[in-house]
Structure 1
Amino acid sequence: MKTRPEPTAAEPSTTPTSTPTTRRRRRRGINSGESRGAWILLAPYMLLFAVAAFIPIVYAFYTALQKSPTLVNPESGFGGFHSFLTVFKDYRFFDTFGNILTVLAVWLPVMIVAIVALALMVDASRGRFGRAMRFIYYIPGALAGIANFVLWVYLLNPALSPLGPLWEALGMDTLKEVVTDGHMPLILSAMLLFQGIGTWIVIVIGGLNGISDEVLEAAALDGASAWQLAWKVKLPLIRPWIGYAALMNLAYGFQLFLEPYLLRQVSAGSIDAQWTPNQLGYAFAFDNRDFPAAAAMSIILLAITLGIGMLIVFRSGLFGDEGKKS
């Protein structure tokens, strides 16, 4: 009876094996399939981004490089960076940015600290009480836009406000005395805090709910107290959500227009007409009829917000794995 000889070194086995080349081809096929799926999912967003962001940005930059027609020289054409020089030389330019930076310096730290502290307290209070507080914190978010503004006009008017005794004690008897340039950072900070804090608490709580129970149980078994659990475990893990809240509120702060514009109207002009950069851009476009300067102002705002936003993104681990590894 003949037996099949065993394969020797000179006679390799014919059993199919997975070679490095085969594995690379298989991995390349999987990656290409995933890439096609990703691009298909991104296509609607990319179309929306092109229509609502990319094309307007390109058009704004094109407009900013044009020469604004005047009565003396009605012809328009390529003007280089003249519109940017016009914006920088305007006496109101640095004042408007100083105003908005003052608001951000007051409002943004208070906003972030309050969001994180209240979200951690609500997350630690599981059950009916925590759900009730989550709902109560979210209620001010329903008073957005004009509704929030009308509420604050009522509160700021000493003749109508329940805070009337406070305003009188501070020596303020009319709305015009309350709404002044010096008081605007505090007024806007209070308005923006009341309007947005509830929504962001809910968002950060969503990040806290995503923390694995195994991580929390392991920390508890190691003897971590409630304070240590919040400070050393939960807080580092929700850093991307905190960065996202800071980024979006920062962008909103630089876009302030409606609140100072309407406060000037109801206070009979007690504050500057161009109190924020957006108001200055509006004045360039519709008061001075200088659309290239208005476009240049929008490009400057875009560059500033993008630069600060990228700093927040990279420092907070937003859109990456840095926050999860902390």
Structure 2
Amino acid sequence: MAAGGTRGRGALSYGFVAAYAALALAFGVLPALYALWLAFTTGAGGFAGLDNFTRVLGDFRFGPAVAHVALYLAIWLAALVVLVSFLAVVVHAVRVRWLSRTLRLVFYLPGAVAGASSVLLWLFVLDPTASPVSGLLRLFGFHSFVQVIVPGNLPAIFAIIAFWTGAGGWVVIMYGALNTIGAEVIEAARIDGANAVQIAWHVQLPLLRKWISYMGIMSLAAGTQLFVEPQLLSQASNAVVPNDYSLNQLAYQYAFQHNDFNGAAAISLLLLVVALALSAVFVVRGGLFGTD
């Protein structure tokens, strides 16, 4: 019976892997290969070489879109690495069980309101005439919605929205990672005279390096796909926010406004290459696949 149970669990495991592989092939690998083919061909299907890439790189909208996404990613990733690590260590240090659980729930809940619904919620938060924090907005000199969402403020605004929706889940994950650190390691540091801050800086954070690297890779992959937030703000603000603010929006414009799917594929491929290169930096610097 034990052998039968083992075979059953093995078959179930293969079933899960097969289902994931099929979905990854259908919605990940095949679309990527199709985009690769489009990027190097013309609308008629002939070989275009690097013409599509040359055209999109020469577009006056491409440079600003790159700058917008890069600045947004820099703010967001820095906030994630610093604040998520800090919050996870603080929550882990709380010894009152109900309080620790409550804090984790509070951090996690905003992640349940994601995507377009989250942006719609923030449309009210960012409007000084309707916002629950209107006093704070006016303190910073913002008296209208248009003043808040001027393009220069958008990288920080999008980083705040992304942090609000995504940071809580990572705090919970980091909290779980901290629980894997042996109690004897922490106790040894205390015996050596380390206080709570020194333990966090010299023991806990170094042991979280791989998890921080993993968080950076996943957040980078999500951040480069910036689309919903600027698209909804563009519609809500009557184009105060341009509809080609991000690279994904620009690719959307190429595909559905100019009927140039080849140019859109070239933009997506450039975005993929850059994202993979930056992810490789996280992998190497974070020692993600190294053995301790």
Give the alignment's TM-score, normalised by structure 2. Answer: 0.89
What is aligned with 1:306?
A: 276
Hey, what's the Cα distance between the residues in 2 that align with 1:233 and 1:172? 43
What is aligned with 2:130?
A: 160
Ranked by relative contact order (alpha carbons within 8 Å, sequence separation 6 or more), the top structure is: 2
What is aligned with 1:179?
A: 149
Instruction: Identify, as 1 or 2, the structure richer in helix.
Output: 2
SS, match of residue 298 in structure 1: helix
Residue 51 (1) aligns with residue 26 (2):
yes
Hey, what's the Cα distance between the residues in 2 that align with 1:212 and 1:90? 54
Pick which of 210-219 and 305-314 moved more.
210-219
What is aligned with 2:47?
A: 78
Of 66, 84, 88, which residue of structure 2 is paired with 1:119?
Answer: 88
Summarize deviations over 1:72-102 as a string: whole Å, max 9, x none. xxx4422222111111111111110100111
SS, match of residue 239 in structure 2: coil
Kept in 2, the 8 Å contact 1:140–1:198? The answer is yes
What is aligned with 2:215?
A: 245
Summarize deviations over 1:210-247 as a string: whole Å, max 9, x none. 11222222222222221221111111111111111111
Q: What percentage of residue pairs aligned between the two structures are identical?
A: 39
For these two proteins, the number of residue pairs brought into alignment is: 280
Change (3 A) 1:169 1:43: closer
Hey, what's the Cα distance between the residues in 2 that align with 1:45 and 1:211? 31
* RMSD of aligned residue pairs (Cα, Å): 2.0
SS, match of residue 288 in structure 1: coil
Hey, what's the Cα distance between the residues in 1 that align with 2:261 and 2:116? 28
What is aligned with 1:21?
A: none
Of 118, 134, 138, which residue of structure 2 is paired with 1:148?
Answer: 118
Hey, what's the Cα distance between the residues in 2 that align with 1:158 and 1:51? 45
Hey, what's the Cα distance between the residues in 2 that align with 1:216 and 1:167? 43
Larger radius of gyration between Structure 1 and Structure 2: 1
Of 216, 226, 237, which residue of structure 1 is paired with 2:196?
Answer: 226
SS, match of residue 183 in structure 1: helix
Give the alignment's TM-score, normalised by structure 1. Answer: 0.81
Summarize deviations over 1:46-94 as a string: whole Å, max 9, x none. 43332222222111111111113xxxxxx44222221111111111111
Residue 63 (1) aligns with residue 9 (2):
no
Hey, what's the Cα distance between the residues in 1 that align with 2:127 and 2:205? 40
